[in-house]
Structure 1
Amino acid sequence: MSGSGAEKDVELSPPLTGALGLWAWDLVGERVQGDARFAALLKLPPETARHGVPAAEVYGRVHPDDRLRLRIAVAGVAQGAEVFARDFRIVSDEGVRWVSARGRAKHRADRRPRTFTGILTDVTEQKRAEERLRIAQSAGGVGTFEFVEGFGTVDVSDEFCRLLGLRVAASLPVRTINALMEPGDPPLIGGSAAGGETFRTEVRIRRADDGQLRWLAVQGERRPASDAAEPTIIGAVYDITAAKTAEARLRELAQTLEQRVEARTQERDRLWNTSRDLFGVVGQDGVYRAVNPAWTGVLGYDEAEVVGRSFRDFVEPDDLAAASEAWSGGGAVSLEDFDARMRGKDGAWRWVNWTVIPQGEAFYAVGRDVTERKQLEQQLRQSQKMEAVGQLTGGIAHDFNNMLTGILGGLDMVQRRLASGRVADAEKFITGAIASAERAAALTHRLLAFSRQQTLDPKSVDANVLVASMEDLLRRTLGERVELAVRLAPDLWRTAIDANQLENALLNLAINARDAMPDGGRLTIATENVRLAEAVGELPPGEYVQLNVGDTGAGMSAEVLARVFDPFFTTKPMGQGTGLGLSMVFGFARQSGGDVSIESDLGRGTRVRLRLPRNLGDEEPVEAAPEAETPLGSGEAVLVVEDDPAVRPVLLELLRELGYAPVEASGAEAALKVVASEQRLDLVISDVGLPGLDGRALAGRIRAARPELPVLLISGYAGEAGRRADFLEPGIELIAKPFATNVLARRVRAMIRR
Structure 2
Amino acid sequence: MKLLAIDDNQDNLLTLSALLKTFLPEAQLITSQSAQDGIRRAAMEAPDAILLDIQMPGMDGFEATRRLKAAASTQHIPVILVTAHRSDSTCRVMGLECGADAFLSKPFDEAELVAQIKAMVRIKRSEDALRHERDSLEALVQRRTSQLLQANVELQQNLERLAQNEARYSRAVRGTSDGLWDWDLVSNDYYYSPRWKELLGFADDELENRPETFFDRLHPDERAEVQESLCAHFLGHTPFDQEIRLRTRGGEYLRVRCRGQAEWDGAGEPVRMSGAITDMTERQLMEEQLRQAQKMEAIGQLAGGVAHDFNNVLTVIAGYANILKMDLGTESPQHELADQISAAAERAAQLTRGLLAFSRKQAMNQQRCDLGEIVHRVEQFLGRVIGEDIQLKTETLPEPLPVQVDLAQMEQVLINLAANARDAMPGGGVFTIATGVRDGEGHGYGDPAGRCAVIIVADSGEGMDDETSRRIFEPFFTTKEVGKGTGLGMAIVYGIVQQHKGNIRVSSKPGEGTVFTIELPLAEGSAALESVLNPQSLPQTGTETILVAEDDPNVRSLVDMVLTRHGYQVILAEDGEEVVHRFAAQQDGIELVLMDIIMPRKNGIEAYAEIKKIRPKTKVIFTSGYTADFIQSRGMQEGVELIMKPVQPVELLRKVREVLER
| TM-score normalised over the length of structure 2 | 0.50
More strand by percentage: 1
More helix by percentage: 2
| TM-score normalised over the length of structure 1 | 0.44
